[in-house]
Amino acid sequence: MGKTSSESKNKYAKKAYDDIRLQVKKGKKDLVKEYAEKQGLSLQGFIKLLIKKETDIDVWNKII
């Protein structure tokens, strides 16, 4: 039986990307997510933007 689309995407993501886990106190995730959405960003996009702002842009372009 063939793989589903999500299984294929997950397999690719596992090969191509590293995960970074971030823990926050209960309820704080929703606050950050709400703020990100008000900025027109996803939670992940917002976190990436913050990292990009705090690091050297040339380095960031190499790692994303």
Residue 14 lies in a domain: no
18 phi and psi, to 5 degrees? Answer: -100, 150
Q: What is the pLDDT of residue 11?
A: 92
Whether residue 20 is contained in a domain is answered as no
Give, for 31, the enclosing helix (H) or strand (E). Answer: helix 28-38
Task: With respect to residue 54, please indicate whether it lies within any of the assigned structural domains.
Answer: yes
| Residue matched to tokens 């294929």 | 8
Residue 5 lies in a domain: no
Answer yes or no: is 55 within a domain: yes
Count of structural domains, the chain: 1
pLDDT digits (tens, 9 = 90+) for 10-63: 999 999 999 999 999 999 999 999 999 999 999 999 998 888 888 876 776 666
Q: The domain containing residue 31 runs over which residues?
A: 25-64
